[in-house]
Amino acid sequence: MVADSKSAFIDQTVVPGDVVLDLSSMSNHTIKLGQGLRQDGDVISVMKAGKLRFSKPNKYWVESSNKRYVPCVEDTVLGIVVDQKADNFLVDIKGPTLAFLPVLAFEGGSRRNKPKFEVKLNRVFAFLKMGVSSSFTNKQGLECHRTENMVKSAGISSEKVLLLLFSECRFFPFSELNIIYFPSQVGKLLYVRVVKANADMNPELSCTDVNGKAAEFGPLKDGYMFESSTGLSRMLLSSPTCPVLEALGKKLSFEIAIGLNGRVWVNAEAPSTVILVSNAIMTSESLTGVQQRIMVEKLMQRVQ
Amino acid sequence: TSTEKTGLGSSIESEMEFVSPEGLRLDGRRPMEMRQIRGEVGAVSKADGSAVFEMGNTKVIAAVYGPREVQNRSQQMSDKALVRCEYSMANFSTGDRMRKPKGDRRSIEISLVIRQTMEACIMTHLMPRSQIDIFVQVLQADGGTRSACINAATLALADAGIPMRDIVTSCSAGFLNSTPLLDLNYIEDSAGGPDVTVGMLSKLEKVTLLQMDAKLPMETFETVMQLAMEGCKAVANYIREVKNLIIQYPLLCTTREYQATGISLWCIAVHQGNKHEPRALGSYEDWEF
């Protein structure tokens, strides 16, 4: 590569507006621009703050660590189901828009065996129709006492809510309790793969790999999920193995799922292991390899 | 001493002295000297991007959420992102406790102004059908809150990783006692003289915000606006240095005190007077897990 075709800002911090390359001074080259850079006429300028990186022969991009995620094809992410439509689940992947996960995008998925995710959020609409008896034929005489209950956590089951409502009923003779029960499959944590990602459309996900096998994708049971930045996820997924994961793996046994959208899920036998691993990972983003190992050793000493 | 409303060479006996014969202002600055500026990134951990920005005694906090799903479907735009901005002043930010911190006409106007300024620099077409929320709150008000809010919003947007054309910075300038003054504080602002606020894309040198109170003759206006633009460039230089530190240490909020002095009209000579060493939050050994 000719010397003048390389930017002076490589491996340096850049902020939006910085001009990294001037194409008018360069001869016939093809430059590939990754995220964070844009072409503005004859110059290449920066859109996002971060470190400018260069890879031979001609790739430039800005590496930044943010809390929001930009969906890219073939990324593996951790999503949370927010809603269910006719054909898709709506999944939140911390991107600009919600993502669609087709109901059939599971191994052996067909119309007959649609996945049923554990019900975590129930919506119970109940209302009491006062004074219902055969003598009231027109609706004007009726008073509606409507109660709306939304069970927010998994602690209260839907059956208990119904029992509460039944107990309230006995104060109102000659009334009718109407219950409309919406079990919804929301709130489930999934490990998914991004299949389609355009800025103009909602991203599309899949719970199978390229060949159609399940391959570890799908809902994640138990464990603990925390949110961090995309830079931390990339560091954890780098090869050779990230020092903090290596140091933790030598002493503890746990399982971990890392989403490129900044979400990390940890599961282990004992909750104390989960807490230790989560804390170690959360604090390791700004440490060097050696510092990470020392930090993990100190954590272990304090626990033992 | 009474203050004149126009401040345009009115009778000398009734005009308060904002620039002493030696050339010092009420707080000891020179006419073309900015107040001490300080910026810090990552103050609000829950937000996608946040920043605190101080210009002298004016202190402002900005939080950015997004790009995320639009909450009000009717406002969704199919080709670009929706930018919402809310400006509010804390009750305790002014001398007397404020009764209505937001929703009054001034706050709505400044919210609109900040939104238009930031919308000009955010590349909204890259994130269609999404929403970006910018919340700025004034913690201490001592003149120039509008400018401090724009500077804080810029830092917060850069922290959130939202694609931008350039860094928008803002500064205000006025004209009192026949002298152009840079970066007015509250006393100088309420003197009734003209107050020119300029918001500028620093590298491209394009003006995205230009507001003025009161009146100025055209030639004087040119001078005052140029002065404000130089102030914007000084703030942009400072922001470049703040970003440098933040990207290297993402979890540590380091702050540097930076004094921009001696700004002449046509060139910035930035004097790094009280530059402290970057202060980390202790080393990793001191951290309690």
- For residue B126, count CB atoms less than 10 angstroms from its CB and return exposed for 0-12, middle for 13-18, buried for 19 or more: middle
Which secondary structure element, helix H or strand E, spans residue B248, and what is its range? Answer: helix B218-248
Q: Enumerate residues 40 to 59 of chain A having a beta carbon within 8 A of any beta carbon in chain B.
A: 45, 47-51
Start-end of H helices in chain A = 158-169, 230-236, 243-251, 271-282, 289-303
List the one residue out of B14, B2, B28 whose CA is nearest residue B185: B28
Q: What's the pLDDT score for residue B66?
A: 84
Domain boundary among A29, A48, A63: A63
Share above pLDDT 70 across residues of chain B, in percent, rounded to a whole number: 79
- The answer to whether residue B154 sits within a structural domain is yes
Contact residues on chain B for A295, CB-CB shorter than 8 A: 284
pLDDT in tens, B42-77: 899 889 999 999 999 999 999 999 899 998 889 999
The domain that holds A48 is classified in CATH as 2.40.50.100
Contact residues on chain B for A65, CB-CB shorter than 8 A: 250
Tell me which residue range forms the domain holding B51.
11-284
- The answer to whether residue B171 sits within a structural domain is yes
pLDDT in tens, A152-169: 333 344 555 566 666 665
- The answer to whether residue A73 sits within a structural domain is no
In chain A, which stretches have pLDDT less than 70? Answer: 1-5, 117-186
Name the pTM for this structure: 0.78
Q: Are residues A169 and A230 in the same domain?
A: no
Q: What's the pLDDT score for residue A112?
A: 81
Q: What's the pLDDT score for residue A155?
A: 35
The residue that leads in pLDDT, A158 or B15, is: B15
**Chain A contact for B108 (CB, 8 A cutoff):** no
Q: What's the pLDDT score for residue B180?
A: 94
Residue B38, helix vs strand vs coil: strand
The domain that holds B255 is classified in CATH as 3.30.230.70
**Chain A contact for B92 (CB, 8 A cutoff):** no
- The answer to whether residue A234 sits within a structural domain is yes
- The answer to whether residue A135 sits within a structural domain is yes
Are B161 and A279 in contact (CB < 8 Å)?
no
Tell me which residue range forms the domain holding A263.
222-304
Q: What's the pLDDT score for residue B13?
A: 39
pLDDT band at residue B115 using 50, 70 and 90 as cut-offs: very high
**Residue B268 pLDDT > 90, yes or no?**
no
ipTM above 0.85, yes or no: no
- The answer to whether residue B202 sits within a structural domain is yes
Q: State the pairing for strand pair B130-140/B82-89.
A: parallel
Q: What's the pLDDT score for residue B284?
A: 35
- The answer to whether residue A96 sits within a structural domain is no
Q: Are residues A300 and A231 in the same domain?
A: yes
Q: How many domains does chain B have?
A: 1
Mean pLDDT of B120-143: 95
Q: How many domains does chain A have?
A: 3
Compute the Cα dihedral for B253, A79, A64, B54 and give only its sign. Answer: negative
- The answer to whether residue B3 sits within a structural domain is no
Q: What's the pLDDT score for residue A74?
A: 93
Q: What's the pLDDT score for residue A162?
A: 60
- The answer to whether residue A103 sits within a structural domain is no
- The answer to whether residue B260 sits within a structural domain is yes
Rounded CA gap, B187 and B201, in Å? 28
- Please give the angle made by the CA atoms of A296, A300 and A301, to the nearest 5 degrees: 120
- The answer to whether residue B5 sits within a structural domain is no
- The answer to whether residue B2 sits within a structural domain is no
Contacting residues for B145 by C-beta, under 8 A, at least 6 apart: B58, B60, B89, B110, B138
Q: Are residues A244 and A291 in the same domain?
A: yes
- The answer to whether residue A237 sits within a structural domain is yes
- The answer to whether residue A104 sits within a structural domain is no
Q: Are residues A175 and A245 in the same domain?
A: no
- The answer to whether residue A276 sits within a structural domain is yes
The domain that holds A230 is classified in CATH as 3.30.1370.10
